[in-house]
Amino acid sequence: MKKLVGVLSTLAIAASLVAAAPSQAGASASAPSTAAKASAKPKPPKPKPFKMTDRYARETVKIGDRDASVYAIEHVRELQYRLIWAGFLKVSPTGNFGTMTRTAVKRYQRSVGLKVSGVATHRTWEHLLPDTLRRKGAIPKRCKTIGWHACYDRAAHQVTLWHKGKIVNTWLVRGGSYSTPTRTGNTVVYKRDIDHKSGLFDDAPMPYAQFFDGGQAFHGSRFMIDPFVEHSHGCINMYVEDARQLWRLTSTKRLNVTVYGTWDKSGAGKSSAPVEP
């Protein structure tokens, strides 16, 4: 009898140990899950938010936007000029972003491998601005040397900004008239005034003014809508947003200035193609 009780006790203990131990199948089933977790790729970091001080920065432009006035420039006209120069738009710039401009943006985006949205995003400008840089071969070597350089090509209505030999941005601008031209040469910004008023022209606003040659300055214009129409009295007129960009990038830096190229009469660079409504 004692032997029987002993055998039964042994069998009970063995059964309890088997029940408590994890099954081999269960253990092996959980192994892939652990391995999958270990091999899972980390999520890519979120892209940094776009800033207007980024290289080739412009605001996003989409259908329905327009350059309504000097106080409401949306860079539509600039977008249209550049799409014409790139060969994707066949109508004259109007400052109104219509269906033809959207189609041209889509065609351009497709050609450079971007998402085809018809919206001129920062990524679109990032390609379009360098693609439509004018008179590249005429840019003086001095602009590409160490330091900060703002270089104005009178023939192209174009300012390029350089830092340590690398281009940072480019803008469409207008300069002085034939009788009051922007003077050529190499200078340095010697005075800055974020809210300057002209002492010669009835206190005309000259926001974000950076003076480089005897009263001539880069500044935001309250009169310019189209960079290829009319002229200044010698200063380099920029859209206010563009002058603000230049200010944010360079107002605390030594800024070398180079003015070059032949004087250009108003209307240069315009297309004779049909006008988009």
**Residue at 26 is within a domain:** no
**149 domain-assigned:** yes
Mean pLDDT of the chain: 86
| Alpha carbon separation from 235 to 48, 184, 203, 219 (Å, rounded) | 36, 12, 15, 7
Q: Could you tell me if 171 and 180 are in contact, meaning their C-beta atoms sit under 8 angstroms apart? A: no
Residue pLDDT, tens place only, 121-152? 999 999 999 999 999 999 999 999 999 999 99
Q: Could you tell me if 200 and 146 lie in one domain? A: yes
CB 154 within 8 A of CB 173: no
**Considering the entire predicted model, what is its pTM?**
0.81
Structure token digits, residue 134:
């004018």
Count of domains for the chain: 2
- pLDDT score, position 34: 56
Residue 32 has pLDDT above 60, yes or no: no
Per-residue model confidence as pLDDT tens digits over 19-30: 444 444 444 444
Neighbours of 186 (CB within 10 A): 16
Q: Is the pLDDT of residue 9 over 80?
A: no
Do 127 and 211 have their domain in common?
no
170 pLDDT higher than 80: yes
Asked if residue 256 and residue 198 are part of one domain, the reply reads yes
- Residue 82's pLDDT band (cuts 50, 70, 90): very high
Q: How many CA atoms lie within 13 A of 258 on its CB side?
A: 18
Domain-located, residue 154: yes
Question: Is the same domain home to 157 and 122?
Answer: no
Long-range contacts, 72-75 (Cβ 8 Å, 24+):
73/225, 73/239, 73/240, 73/241, 75/239, 75/241
Final residue of a domain: which of 132, 149, 167? 132
Q: How far is CA 218 from the centre of its chain?
A: 20
| 178 and 249 co-located in one domain | yes
Residue 275 has pLDDT above 70, yes or no: no
Are residues 250 and 180 both part of a single domain? Answer: yes
Same domain flag for 141 and 115: no
pLDDT, tens digit (0-9, with 9 covering 90-100), for 98-127: 999 999 999 999 999 999 999 999 999 999
Task: Give the confidence band of 56 by pLDDT, cuts at 50, 70, 90.
Answer: very high
pLDDT score at 201: 72
Q: What pLDDT, in 10s, does the model give residues 211-229?
A: 999 999 999 999 999 999 9
> CA 143 to CA 149: how far, in whole Å?
5
The pLDDT confidence band at residue 188, using thresholds 50, 70 and 90, is: very high
**Residue given tokens 């104005």 in the structure block:** 152
Q: Are strands 216-220 and 205-213 parallel, antiparallel or unpaired?
A: antiparallel
Residue 172 sits in a domain whose CATH number is 2.40.440.10
Asked if residue 16 has pLDDT above 50, the reply is: no
Looking at the DSSP bridge assignments, the partners of residue 234 are none
Contact 68, 38 (CB under 8 A): no
Same domain for 246 and 169?
A: yes
Query: Does a structural domain hold residue 160?
Result: yes
Span of 35-44, 76-85, 117-126 with lowest mean pLDDT:
35-44
Q: Both 140 and 121 in a single domain?
A: no
What CATH number is given to the structural domain containing 79?
Answer: 1.10.101.10
Residue 128 belongs to some domain of the structure? yes
**Torsional sign, CA 97, 101, 106, 111:** negative
The C-alpha atoms of residue 13 and residue 162 are separated, in whole angstroms, by: 84
By residue count, the chain amounts to 277
On whether residue 83 sits in a domain, the answer given is yes
Residue 236 forms part of a structural domain = yes
In a domain, 9, yes or no: no
Instruction: Indicate whether 114 and 148 sit together in one domain.
Output: no
> How much is the pLDDT for 15?
44
What CA–CA distance (Å, rounded) separates 9 from 1? Answer: 12
Residue 213 CA to residue 32 CA, distance in Å, equals 72
**Domain region containing 153:** 136-260
Each residue's pLDDT tens digit, 244-273:
999 999 999 999 999 999 999 865 444 444
d(CA 268, CA 277): 22
Same structural domain, 103 and 147: no
